[in-house]
Each structure stands twice: as C-alpha cells, then as structure tokens.
Amino acid sequence: MIIFARFWIRIALVLMIPFGALMAESEGQQELLFFLSGGSTYHQITSDNDRQENDFILAADIIYSYLKDDYRFLAEYILSTEESELERFQFGWQADEDVLLWAGRFHSPARYWNSAYHHGQYLQTSISRPLAEKFEDEDGILPTHVTGVMLETTQKLQGADGLHTIFSLGTTSVIGDQELIPFDLLDANSKNKIAFDLRLAYLPDQLGENQIGLLFNWSDIMVDDSKIAEQQELQGVEQRIVGLYLDWRKEKWRVLSNLIYVDNQMEKQSGIQSDAFSTIYFQSEYEVNQDWKIFGRLEDTSGVSNSEYLDLFPDAVIQREMIGLRFDIFKNHALTLEVSNLKTQSENLDQLWLQWSAVLP
C-alpha cells in the first residue's frame, strides 16, 4: 500500500509540470471562488433527560480552477471551526468533445449530491444533507472521496437527450473511530484499499439539469482504528451499493431523491457475515419568487436493527422529517432556516438550524 500511495503522489507531481509550463507561457481561464457559511444549531434531545445543545459553525470552502486548451486543474480546500482538509485535487485532460479524464482526489461518482454541490453550502437549498450524501467526517456512513482516476463520457441520443457516464477507480476510505477516513494524499502509511464507482445518467436535455440515473459502487474497506469494530472482531468490509437517483425541475418545483441498497460482507475473525440495509430520501423545493424558497425532506433507513455496519456510526441520522425556508437577501448571499425532527440509533432530536451562506466574488 505504501508503494501504491507513493505512486499516486508521483503521478500528481508529474502532472503538475505541464500545467506549470502552460501557465508560464500564457494565461488560461482561471477562477477562484470562496464559499462562506456561518450558522447556529440548536438541539433538543428528548431521549436523554430532555437535554439541550447549541453549536456554532463557521466555514470557508475555497475552490480554484484553471483551464488551458485541453487541460484543466481543480483544487478545493475546506477550512472551518471543525475541520481543515484538502477535499479535491485533480488534473483533467479533455480527450475530445465527449471524453474527459481526471486523475487525483475527487468526489465519488456514486454520490450525486456531492458531485453537484461539493462543500458549497450556498449552492444547495437545504442546510443539511441526507444520510446517503454526507461526507465521511460529517457522520457519513459511505465513502465519498476517491483518489485515483475518473473517466467522464457523454453519448448523444436522439434529439437533445443524452447519456452521461462517469467511472472511477482508486483508493477508498477506511473505518476509523465512529467515522470513515478517506485516503490522505500526504499519508503513505494508510490502509486504504480499492473502490470502483459508476454513475449512469439519462439527461432529456444535455444543456439542462434534469436527470435520472443509476449508481453503482464496490469498495474494499479496511479497519484502521475503531473500538466498535474491535468489539465486533471486524477486520474489513466488502461493500456493494446499487442506487437510483432523480434530480428534476418543473416550472417552480424541484425534486431530489435517492434510493440505495447497501450490501456488506463483514470480514470477521470467525468468518464472513452478510449485512444489508437500504436508505431513501425525498426532497422537494418550491420557488415562491426570485428571493424565497420553501423546501422539505423525508428520510428513512430500513434494516437498521440487523446491521452491525450501521452500529459503527452511532451518530448517523437514520430518520429525518425536515422543513425549511431560504431567503436570498443580496446578490450571492442567503439566509436559510431549517427545522427537523431526526433520529439516530441512540437519540431522538428536534433541530433548529439558522445559516448565512455566500459565494465571493
């Protein structure tokens, strides 16, 4: 694994050379964006003597992109009161009009929400993310980052519709203490193994945003440092995921939905144990006018009581009923209010979340 990690680091360094030369020779198209957000969260926890908690989070998501001829580069860094991490670092080559090849660290193609919104809170209508779309360090239960290669292709069908395919191969996350830990580009001693991801999307209009698609993933997830996994005598998980997602706009309405089935082969000292569950969410949004949006989401997870894999993540939200309101106050600034009733495996919570978000410049 050490050799494999060093290989990817060297690939990244080699790929940086032509980009440096291109930028020295002539200016390409460059863009630097700052996605800022700040908000306060209030929790009323009813399953533990009715206690209350308050959190305040500030975050800056910095995205830099560079495009020159057939080459491109993209980097994303997140800095907040809770974390500091290089989220994406990828180099691209446009082989032809319909083929794009990436190398580096990127978001898993099997997580549509993250590919559409990354960490930019301003871009998504809701404040929270559904369970299936959460990042590893935000109580996510599925790998959301891949370090390796990714291929994007577009096949034109009849008329304006098309088929968009994204495939990736690379290193996946490991199981840490109540969280998943993605591959670190600078850590050559990690235990990360291989993952395959595939997204097949049908677009009725290649220039539009409407799409419906299938998601597939296979991951070899190893245990790094987890007390719960140690109690389970768990050594690793072979994970298979199949999903169906929808992102559809109709006049003032928008619907986002995803249904996924997760099959885990739990590798224990005593042998292989099968473990499966499914999770679904349905989010609808209504644009009252140019400045106001109303939105809501329902989430549910089945098979929780029989899943030792979910036991690894006791803070994961397995059910949620949410409603919210967004107000775009100025150009590129928004205030969002979100009210939820949610459930983890150990607690029932009422959540009130107020957030300011913006993108600069």
pLDDT, one tens digit per residue, over 43-77 is 787 766 666 777 888 999 999 999 999 999 999 99
Q: What is the pTM of this model?
A: 0.87
pLDDT digits (tens, 9 = 90+) for 123-162: 999 999 999 999 998 889 999 999 999 999 999 888 889 9
**pLDDT per residue over 267-293, tens digit each?**
998 899 999 999 999 999 999 999 999
Average pLDDT score over residue span 86-92: 94
Q: Which two tokens stand for residue 314?
A: 């006791």
Domain count, the chain: 1
Return d(Cα 32, Cα 35) in angstroms, integer.
Answer: 10
CATH of the domain at 273: 2.40.160.10
Higher pLDDT, 27 or 178: 178
Q: Are 140 and 134 in contact (CB under 8 A)?
A: yes
Q: Are 345 and 314 in contact (CB under 8 A)?
A: yes
Phi, psi of 12 (to 5 degrees): -60, -45
Res. 14 pLDDT band, cuts 50 70 90: very low
Nearest residue to 80 (alpha-carbon basis) of 357, 360, 361? 357
Distance CA(176)–CA(160), nearest Å, equals: 45
Residue range 195-213, pLDDT digits in tens: 999 999 999 988 888 999 9
Q: Domain residues for 178? A: 2-360
Position 9 scores a pLDDT of: 45
Burial (Cβ within 10 Å: 0-12, 13-18, ≥19) of residue 355: buried
- The per-residue pLDDT for 118 is 81
Question: How many angstroms separate the CA atoms of 352 and 325, rounded?
Answer: 12
pLDDT of residue 53: 72
Q: What is the pLDDT of residue 23?
A: 47
